């Protein structure tokens, strides 16, 4: 039996509980069955954004035509070299993690799959390990739909789409969530003919007005309400057949097929039945208000607990646990601040807090301010044709309940509101500050002015 202070299962977000505790003298063992760095570094946030940013540069040609600027010839670029550069950089960063751990005498990096042998004991089949604290940070993986024939084909998930052997001329995407929209928009900009198909709707959980705006400006065509009945791969082509929402039989054909239909937790191989640890019906680990499982001393955080699916939320949870367990801080429940999210498609989308649909359903009284990009000085300068900032303000407290942005720099534009929500700023606070003219942030100010107008109308009536 090898004994440590801390065992960390998963070297993605789990790294938050590796180096910091080691620096205060804790002995840590970290286990990883794949490449260190987790989904975010290897096959998620970082490589996808490294692929997406150059694709946005290619869109400058079509964007510039609104200003009477024309390029006499198409841009010259090698898309395969772009993906190669991304993957080489990601591999270098991932490879550097074990090297850094090897230099730290308090850290043992063990590249093996492990599972629970008993309460507070994990094993790799050869050695057993125990510790005062065990952290389960095993994340998620793509969830594959049950479509006849699919599993017999060389389909892609986001992993393969971020490191293609050769860039395809055509790409068919099953699913219409953020992965579909981000990678589909990038592939379209790089010259592939991209088509999306989904049984449901596009981004079903976002605010309804965001969905309406996105539908007008989709980066590639997406066929909703399509029931998939068969997937085949022959003669170098994928064929997906099914019934469209008009009840007609339809077949889509493409060189490559990307399946992006959600995720599932990596918990099956942990043999949690050997412990008191419980999961919900979808397999996500249940934790209490301090992120502890039903097994005392065993904690879980990140995607595997199914609360939020962002690296920034997992980082927040990891920092909470470090403070809670090792910095001598007051032992109190985790309290999440407003949790922002962004979809780096074209147009970009960012949100925080409640959607208008949720406020209506929960019967919470609110004011709404929606301001298009074009109704601002910077929107005039950019000849903006798409985008708005939408703010939802409580009628009772005049604090922001939710905010939703679609358009250029949406993720950056949202942060002012996120900070305001964190500081419990009120309507007058947003209106009382001075905004740089003519910065893009004036779009946000104008949205709050719309709220003020609505409030005054109600007072007068």
Which residue ranges are tagged as binding site for FAD?
A: 49, 303
Task: Tell me what pLDDT residue 70 has.
Answer: 85
Q: What is the pLDDT of residues 216-234, one digit of tens each?
A: 999 999 999 999 999 999 9
What stretches of 177-216 show up as alpha helix (H) in DSSP? 178-189, 208-216
Q: Is 323 tagged catalytic?
A: no
Buried b (16+ CB within 10 A) or exposed e, 341-361: bbbbbbbbbbbbbbbbeebee
Q: How far is CA 118 from its chain centroid?
A: 34
pLDDT single digits (tens) 313-362 = 999 999 999 999 998 767 899 999 999 999 999 999 999 999 999 999 99
Which of 217, 323, 324, 437 is an active site residue?
Answer: 437
With 80 as the cut, is the pLDDT of residue 295 above it? yes
Evaluate if residue 145 carries a pLDDT over 80: yes
Q: What CATH homologous superfamily does 347-460 map to? A: FAD/NAD-linked reductase, C-terminal dimerisation domain (3.30.390.30)
Q: What per-residue confidence (pLDDT) applies to 62?
A: 82
Structural contact between residues 273 and 280, judged by C-beta atoms closer than 8 angstroms: no
Asked whether the bond before 438 is cis by omega within 30 degrees of 0, the reply is yes
* Residue 13 DSSP class: G
Structural contact between residues 101 and 95, judged by C-beta atoms closer than 8 angstroms: no
Q: Which residues are annotated as a binding site?
A: 49, 175-182, 262, 303
- Exposed, middle or buried by CB within 10 Å (0-12, 13-18, 19+), for 88? exposed
Question: Which CATH number is correct for 150-261, 2.40.110.10, 3.50.50.60, 3.40.190.10, 3.30.70.260?
Answer: 3.50.50.60
- Residue that has been written with the tokens 């009284």 in this structure: 365
Domain 2-141+264-326, CATH homologous superfamily name and number? FAD/NAD(P)-binding domain (3.50.50.60)
Give the pLDDT score at 329. 67
Q: How many other C-beta atoms lie within 10 A of the C-beta of residue 167?
A: 17
Annotated binding site for NAD(+): 175-182, 262
Q: Is residue 140 a contact partner of residue 300, using CB atoms and an 8 Å limit?
A: no
Instruction: Report whether 135 contacts 6 (CB < 8 A).
Output: yes
CB environment 182-206: b (16+ within 10 A), e (fewer) = bbbbbbbbbebebbbbbbeebbeeb
Q: Is the model's pLDDT at 383 over the cut of 70? A: yes
Quick one: which of 176, 171, 144 has its CA closest to 157?
A: 144
Position 191 pLDDT exceeds 70:
yes
CB-count exposure of residue 293 (10 Å: 0-12, 13-18, 19+) = buried
Measured N-to-C along each axis, helices 79-102 and 45-58 cross at an angle, to the nearest 10 degrees, of 150
CA atoms within 13 A on the CB side of 305: 28
pLDDT digits (tens, 9 = 90+) for 57-105: 999 888 888 899 888 777 889 999 999 999 999 999 999 999 999 999 9
Q: What is the mean pLDDT of the chain?
A: 95
Query: Dihedral sign, CA of 344, 438, 455, 431?
Result: positive
CB 341 within 8 Å of CB 403: no
Q: Write out the residue limits of the CATH 3.50.50.60 domain(s) in the chain.
A: 2-141+264-326, 150-261
Angstrom distances, CA of residue 439 to CA of 373, 384, 388, 442, 444: 11, 14, 15, 6, 10
The pTM for the full model equals 0.94
């Amino acid at each position: 039996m090898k004994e440590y202070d801390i065992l960390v299962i998963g070297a993605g977000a789990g790294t938050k509980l590796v180096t910091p505790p080691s620096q205060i003298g804790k002995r840590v063992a970290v286990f990883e069955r794949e490449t260190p760095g987790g989904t975010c570094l290897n096959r998620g946030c970082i490589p996808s954004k490294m692929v997406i940013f150059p694709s946005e540069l290619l869109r400058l040609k079509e964007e510039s035509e609104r200003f009477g600027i024309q390029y006499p010839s198409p841009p010259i670029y090698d898309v395969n070299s772009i993906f190669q550069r991304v993957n080489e950089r990601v591999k270098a960063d991932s490879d550097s993690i074990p090297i850094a751990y090897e230099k730290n005498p308090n850290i043992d990096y063990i590249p093996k799959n492990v599972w629970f042998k008993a309460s507070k004991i994990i094993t790799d089949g050869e050695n057993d390990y125990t510790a005062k604290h065990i952290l389960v940070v095993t994340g998620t993986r793509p969830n594959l739909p049950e479509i006849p024939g699919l599993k017999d084909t060389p389909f892609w998930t986001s992993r393969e789409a971020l490191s293609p052997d050769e860039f395809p001329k055509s790409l068919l995407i099953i699913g219409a969530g953020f992965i579909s929209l981000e990678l589909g928009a990038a592939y379209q900009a790089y010259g592939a003919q991209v088509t999306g198909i989904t049984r449901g709707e596009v981004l079903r959980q976002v605010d309804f007005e965001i969905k309406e705006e996105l539908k007008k400006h989709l980066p590639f065509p997406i066929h909703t309400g399509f029931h998939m009945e068969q997937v085949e791969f022959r003669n170098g082509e994928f064929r997906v057949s099914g019934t469209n929402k008009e009840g007609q039989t339809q077949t889509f054909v493409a060189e490559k097929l990307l399946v992006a239909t959600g995720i599932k937790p990596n918990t099956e191989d942990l043999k949690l039945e050997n412990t008191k640890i419980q999961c919900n019906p979808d397999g996500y680990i249940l934790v209490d208000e301090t992120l502890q499982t039903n097994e005392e001393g065993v904690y879980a955080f990140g995607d595997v607990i199914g609360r939020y699916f962002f690296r920034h939320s997992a980082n927040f949870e990891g920092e909470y646990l470090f403070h809670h367990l090792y910095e001598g801080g007051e032992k109190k429940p985790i309290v999440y601040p407003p949790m922002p999210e962004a979809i780096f498609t074209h147009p970009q989308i960012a949100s925080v807090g409640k959607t208008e649909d949720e406020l209506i359903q929960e019967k919470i009284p609110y004011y709404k301010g929606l301001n298009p990009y074009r109704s601002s000085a910077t929107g005039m300068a950019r000849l903006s044709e798409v985008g708005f900032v939408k703010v939802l303000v409580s009628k009772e407290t005049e604090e922001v309940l939710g905010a939703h942005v679609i358009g250029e720099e949406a993720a950056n534009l949202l942060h002012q509101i996120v900070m305001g929500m964190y500081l419990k700023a009120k309507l007058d606070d947003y209106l009382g500050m001075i905004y740089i003219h003519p910065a893009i942030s004036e779009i946000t100010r104008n949205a709050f002015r719309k709220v003020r107008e609505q409030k005054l109308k109600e007072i007068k009536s």
